[in-house]
Structure 1
Amino acid sequence: MELTPNDQTEAALRGEANVWKNINGIADFMVLKCALELRIPDIVHSHSAPITLAQIASSVPDSPSLNLSYLSRIMRLLVRRKIFSQHKSLDGEEVLYGPTHSSRLLLSKTTLPDQVTLAPFVAFMTHPYLSAPWRCLARCVKEGGNGFEMVHGGRQLWDLAPGNPEFNKLFNDGMESTARITMMAILSEYRDVFCGIGSLVDVGGGFGGSISAIVKSHPHIKGINYDLPHVVATAPTYTGLVSHVGGNMFEWIPTADAVFMKWILHDWADEDCVKILKNCRRAIPEKGGKIIIVDIVLEPEANGLFDDAAVMLDIALMALTRGKERTEKEWKKVLEEGGFPRYQIFKIPALTSVIEAYPQ
């Protein structure tokens, strides 16, 4: 059917609007960073009812000369992005701002220590070390490699942590925050995956939050948290629950009935994944052994709740690591080459899926 002039004009305008939205996409991330630095989610959630702009401003720490006009512009975008809700006061004279499910996921751990939050992950992803590599995407496409190594003199993301305790903590706190959300989904919807396992090693387990949650839910499991020596050196003690072991997964993996890897393999190229999987294969029994991978499985059609997030995270991996998000076909290839010809994929209510794979 031929488009009328009005249809063509509408299509052109939608196209222009879409380009402008993408041009200014960085504003979403930076405004989120701004909101956390000003502690706006904590302030809004500390009240039992929606509050005014002036109330928010008066509660921002160390800001005696805060600019109300600028703050209102920040809040306007956050409302558009559904981070906060917007209401009218009873007299209709003032705008009030309230919480949402999204803003609850941005509360600081100092406000609610046990709160599930993604605030540490936002802080990590907006660190200057991680901002600069995004400018190298065209070079990544032309040359291969990743932006992080291009910007940081050939050093990988993990190479900067050992000599920088502050960045090491920021990195592991960020990973831990995503882990808590994922583990809640796994342990509520798919906890049977850990039944029958006597010992479990969490490869790349960071500070040990995931393996400790698993062992608390399944006390019969002997938990091993395995990560680089500088990571486990600062990890908290989980008395009677988890033992920390330092090492390199490209060299060896502690022996256990099963291996758990959450958001590890997506950081690495296929050939690196195969090396890791082969070490997993050596670490588990021939009969009864298995690996449990928690990672994104890209869908061929973009019709899921987390599809956009998964594809955008894939681009982040291009900028920051040697890895990528994978389709089921791509997962099948690396699993088979790594010694795991049999697998099954389980959906969970989260960004990631669970891949259970076996050596025979």
Structure 2
Amino acid sequence: MSDVPKDEVLENASHIVALLSRGSDPFISEEVRVQALKAANLVTRALEKPEDGLIKFAFSPTTWMAIRVCAQLDVFDLITKNEAISAAEIAKIGNADETLIRRLLRVLTAAGFVAEKGDGLYGPTHWTVHINSRLAQGMLKFIYDSSMLPIAQSVNWLKERGYQNPVDPRHGMFQAANQTDMPTFKWLTVPENKEIWDNANTFFEGDRGSRPSWLTWFPTKEKFFPEGHHDEAPLLVDVAGGRGHDLMEFIGRYPEEPGPYVLQDQQPVLDSAPSLSPKIEKQRFDLFEDPPVKGKQPICGARIYFMKFIMHDYADEQCMQILRNVKASMVKGYSYLVINDFILPDTGCGLLQSQWDLMMMVLLSSAERTETQWRTLLESAGLSIEGMYSPPGDAQGIIVATL
């Protein structure tokens, strides 16, 4: 039935029961939750026959399609707001065919994303409520709309190029699918693509999912400002920080610190940012042309230059250019570069990190990096790695570098 030995299946099943029986809150920590989930997946793989599992996997894109169409029709919003709503009501509100609505929701009820309350009658589950949230909507719309065509073309694209690893940001799968030679982020910011770019920035606000913030497990204050920050130089510059969600989280964690803080990104992104703390200065910024902000004399450099999920967007050549710009603002013995990103293990890599790596390949001709690859990149840029830190569970790691 499975390549997994029977005793290992039983051991993992027992492990799950033991983890779930620990008091009123079974998930004592993120690490325990991930351990239980990994054990559960091993049991599922052992019980599921490969011929059945592969067929189910082959048909899984239809679930993705059903979710995206229902999001377009605001079906999740309608179901979330009603204890029970009929397919006929949903069809009437969305000006859609009732039979189509039933077919789409048949898949989503089978997957557990929507509750089936009767024949053609639907109600919310916790999945429905989450999918209806602003961050989830941005994620599913951006990922579906930007990746499905490049993924569909990837097989022929790779074959035509002799199965070479893509590294050219102007000539990748995304460019072939959209018939452009613009790098992906450049293409996203042209006016006609405003909706997908807005969805992208909404997704970036929540791309950590439920995984813990680095501020909850990394000794940030002890490492970077144990006595508090009293300089006129910025305490933290969020380089290409989007709408400032990570910066606001930092300020919420350390409200006693006066800053100042700097949020840097393209002007349209900054314009879409919500009301931010008065401690934050917004600065228009081009990742490849502008060095991050410098402080005032006598420091002339920020304490922390923070980059979350930035380096994984680019191949090594572009990363070297970014790092040269960051270095131009750093002060030796004072400034830190803090990178919040996946640090892939050489063996035993998790599924999400592996999938994220391929998504980077498809959308950006870039990649997630292993510890060895991170060391090679940063040291080649003339940076010294102070440390690489792994979080609990399967969240993104922290890399601290100095001049």
- How far is 1:257 from its partner? 0.9
State the match for 2:180 in structure 1.
153
Of 332, 347, 355, which residue of structure 1 is paired with 2:398? 355
Match of 2:265 in 1: 227
Change beyond 3 A, Cα 1:76–1:170: same
Q: Give deviations 1:290-348, integer Å, cap 9, x for gaps.
A: 22222222234547xxx222222211111110211122222222222231332221315
Please tell me whether the aligned partners of residues 168 and 231 of structure 1 are also in contact (alpha carbons under 8 angstroms). Answer: no
Query: Which residue of the other structure, out of 260, 276, 280, is the alignment partner of 2:322?
Result: 276
* 1:7-64 deviation digits (Å, cap 9, x = unpaired): xxxx9x94443443343232132122123223333333324x5x3x61x652567335
Q: Any idea what SS the aligned residue of 1:341 has?
A: strand
Counterpart of 1:333 (choices 362, 376, 397) is: 376
User: Does structure 2 conserve the Cα–Cα contact (< 8 Å) formed by 1:215 and 1:222?
Assistant: no
Larger CA deviation: 249-258 vs 277-286: 277-286
> What residue in structure 1 maps to residue 309 of structure 2?
263
Corresponding residue number in structure 1 for 2:206: 177
Residues 189 and 31 of structure 1, relative CA distance in 2, 3 Å threshold? farther
**Residue from 163, 175, 197 that aligns with 1:168:** 197
* Contact 2:90–2:101, Cα closer than 8 Å, also in 1: no
Tell me what 1:72 maps to: 102
Aligned match for 1:103, one of 92, 107, 128: 128
Q: Any unmatched runs of 5+ in structure 2?
A: 4-45, 295-301
What is the Cα deviation at residue 120 of structure 1?
A: 0.7
Q: Is the 8 A contact 1:216 1:241 kept in 2?
A: no
Distance 2:279 2:208 in 1: 18
Structure 1 contact 260–292 (Cα < 8 Å) conserved:
yes
Aligned to 1:243, the other structure's residue is in SS state strand
Alpha-carbon distance in 2 for matches of 1:237, 1:15: 51
Contact 1:204 1:226 in 2 (8 A): yes
Tell me, yes or no, if the aligned pair for 1:290 and 1:356 is still in contact at 8 Å. Answer: no
1:229, 1:247 within 8 Å by CA — same for their partners in 2?
yes
Cα deviation, residue 267, structure 1 = 0.8
The 5 A counterparts of 1:130-145 are 130-138=147-155, 139-140=157-158, 142=161, 143=164, 144=166, 145=168
Structure 2: distance between partners of 1:131 and 1:239: 37
Q: What residue is the counterpart of 2:38 in the other structure?
A: none
How far apart, CA to CA, are the structure 1 residues paired with 2:153 and 2:120? 45
Percent identity for Structure 1 against Structure 2:
19
Deviation per residue, 1:53-86 (Å, 9 max, x gap): 61x652567335541x433332332234332355
Aligned length: 327
- In 2: Cα distance, 1:65 partner to 1:169 partner: 26
For 1:34, give the aligned amino acid.
V
Distance in 1 of aligned mates of 2:366 and 2:285: 21
SS at match of 1:324: coil
Task: Give the 3 Å change call, closer, same or farther, for CA 140–345 of structure 1 in structure 2.
Answer: farther
CA 1:191–1:33: 2 relative to 1, 3 Å:
farther
Choose which of 136, 141, 156 in structure 2 pairs with 1:118: 136
Distance in structure 2 (CA, Å) of the matches to 1:329 and 1:247: 30
Match of 2:81 in 1: 46
Which of 250, 269, 286 in structure 2 is aligned with 1:248?
286
CA contact (8 A) 2:385 2:399 kept: no
Cα distance in 2 for partners of 1:61, 1:329 equals: 56
Matches of 1:288 and 1:236, distance apart in 2: 31
Q: Which residue of 359, 362, 365 corresponds with 1:316?
A: 359
Deviations 1:106-158 (A, max 9, x none): 1243xxxxxxx32111111222x543222332324635342112233211111
When structure 1 is superposed on structure 2, of 330-339 and 193-202 the one drifting more is 193-202
Q: Distance in 2 between matches of 1:63 and 1:76?
A: 17
Name the CA distance, whole Å, in 1 between partners of 2:321 and 2:378. Answer: 11
| Distance (Å, rounded) in 1 between the aligned partners of 2:218 and 2:70 | 34
Letter in 2 for 1:218: Y
Aligned CA distance change for structure 1 residues 132 and 214 (closer, same or farther; 3 Å)? same
Shift in Å at residue 266 of structure 1? Answer: 0.8
Distance in structure 2 (CA, Å) of the matches to 1:42 and 1:281: 47
- Cα distance in 1 for partners of 2:324, 2:201 equals 26
Contact preservation (8 Å) 1:179, 1:209: no
Identify which of 50, 55, 59 aligns with 1:20: 55
Task: Provide, for residues 264-311 of structure 1, a one-character-per-residue CA deviation record: whole Å limited to 9, x for no partner.
Answer: 1111112222332233233232114222222222234547xxx22222
Alignment partner of 1:186 out of 205, 214, 217: 214
TM-score, structure 1 length as denominator?
0.77
Q: CA deviation at 1:263?
A: 1.2
Distance 1:30 1:160 in 2: 24
Given the superposition, is the C-alpha separation of residues 124 and 31 from structure 1 closer, same or farther in structure 2, using an over 3 Å criterion? same
Three-state SS of the structure 1 residue aligned to 2:213 is helix
Relative to structure 1, is the Cα distance of residues 187 and 158 closer, same or farther in structure 2, using a 3 angstrom cutoff?
Answer: same
Question: Which residue of 1 is the match for residue 339 of structure 2?
Answer: 293
Aligned position for 1:218: 254
> CA-atom RMSD, angstroms?
3.2
Do 1:297 and 1:352's aligned partners in 2 also have CA atoms closer than 8 Å?
no
8 Å contact kept, 2:131–2:137: yes
Q: TM-score, normalised by structure 2?
A: 0.70
Q: Are 1:118 and 1:178, in contact at CA under 8 Å, matched by a contact in 2?
A: no
| Kept in 1: contact 2:68–2:141 (CA 8 A) | yes
